[in-house]
Amino acid sequence: MDHVLVAGAGPVGMVAASCLADAGIKVTILEQSPDLPDDLRASTFHPPTLDMLERFGVVPAMIEQGLVCPQWQVRDREKGVIATYDLGVLKNDTNHPYRLQCEQWRLTRMLRDRLASNPDVTFQYGACVQDVTQDANGVDVRLEHGETIRGTWLIGSDGARSAVRRALGVNFEGMTIPEIYLTLSTSFPFHEAISDLANIAYISDPEEWFVLLRTASLWRLLLPTDPAETEEGMLRPERIEARMQGVLPTGTPYKVHHRTAYRVHERVAEKYLVGRVILAGDAAHVNNPLGGMGMNGGVHDAFNLAEKLTQVIQGADPALLGRYERQRRKVAVEVVQSQALRNRNNLNMREPAKREAAFAEMRATVESAEKHRAFLLRGSLIQSLRDLEDVA
């Protein structure tokens, strides 16, 4: 009986495991943490991702626990709203014409609950991958504590620092963005204090852009930070308070619930497929978080890969997995990464003439029904999924 090992129990690994388990395939999920991670990571689910997740029956609970956001906007820090994009335009293209703000850990727990009674699914926590070797018939994964687990296939969905990718010796080509991203969450009601504020807002400014993003219970604030500033310094309560007052002076201290600082990379693995080992999600591609492209692109990887791997296990030519690599790597390079970089560049523009030209283009886009829909099809990743059939 085929046995698929899945390294990493984030959204990508859990979606892949769920698809395979539904097809009657034995799965072992290897997660290095002692439990499913619940830290503050991605929270934006795009329309086609929700369409895909419907098969698991989890979307109603995600909606109940999350926040439906039909609109998002670009603002100028001084002048206010530049353009408001309305995902309702896509009502004939998706069952979910909105972004859903729902922390990714909620999805992974829902999927774990769904798999709990499946005898063919095993969870192994504290399973830190040390090495990967393979032969013509299977893959051996050696864990940090010395145990070796064998499967017929291995999916490496173990994040940007993927031990699976390193063990394969696959190059992770790209760049590191100069600034550090500081992410904070607060219970302060920005929507009550800022006029016409959408639940998702990208605020452009020639000196310091930032992002405001609302979840069901908190607002998240993302601030680019000078890498010369130490992490200890940027996370000091008084430094955080000063920066938040710079975003919106309140006269009273903000209540900060979470804070984290991290480096941001734009990288794509040279290969997604090495023998019986396949990379997906952040293990295969990483990008800045602007626009919520990374997790959604990774979940789309998982569905694509699981479908093809299931067919191979059921007797199809293993060369089919090469098409997964060609399709999803093309999306990572030409859609996910390029869109995330464009989002950053639009916020980061400093020259007045270039900023005004970009703002004029945004206004023209939302004023044209045809341009508006085409823009949202690309930004929500619907278009990239439609284009996949053109990749042989």
Q: Which of 95-109, 176-190, 206-220, 341-355 has the lowest mean pLDDT?
A: 341-355
pLDDT at 392 over 80: no
Q: Percent of the chain beyond pLDDT 90?
A: 82
- Amino acid residing at 350: R
Number of Cβ within 10 Å of residue 312's Cβ equals 16
- Amino acid residing at 162: S
- What's the pLDDT band for 173 if we cut at 50, 70, 90? confident
- Amino acid residing at 138: G
Give the Cα separation of 251 and 43 in Å (integer).
30
Query: In the sheet that 285-286 helps form, which strands lie side by side, from edge to edge?
Result: 172-176, 265-269, 285-286
Helix (H, G, I), strand (E, B) or coil at 271: coil
pLDDT at 341 over 70: no
Share the mean pLDDT of the chain.
93
- What's the pLDDT band for 146 if we cut at 50, 70, 90? confident
Residues 316-339: tens digit of each pLDDT: 999 999 999 999 998 888 876 666
**Alpha helix (H) residue ranges in the chain:** 11-22, 47-53, 59-65, 104-115, 163-168, 190-193, 231-234, 237-247, 293-313, 320-331, 337-348, 352-367, 369-379, 382-387
- Exposed, middle or buried: residue 228 (CB in 10 Å: 0-12, 13-18, 19+)? exposed
Fold assignment, 3-66+101-175+266-349: FAD/NAD(P)-binding domain (3.50.50)
pLDDT at 67 over 70: yes
Give the Cα separation of 308 and 324 in Å (integer).
7
pLDDT at 120 over 80: yes
pLDDT at 346 over 80: no
- What's the pLDDT band for 40 if we cut at 50, 70, 90? low
Report residue 147 as tokens: 């145990």
- What's the pLDDT band for 291 if we cut at 50, 70, 90? confident
pLDDT at 274 over 80: yes
Domain 177-263 has CATH 3.30.9.10: yes
pLDDT score of 73: 96
pLDDT at 266 over 90: no
Query: In the sheet that 26-31 helps form, which strands lie side by side, from edge to edge?
Result: 121-125, 26-31, 3-7, 153-156, 277-279, 273-274
pLDDT score of 389: 84
pLDDT score of 24: 97
Closest residue by Cα to residue 287 from 340, 342, 221, 225? 340
Q: Per-domain residue ranges for the chain?
A: 3-66+101-175+266-349, 177-263
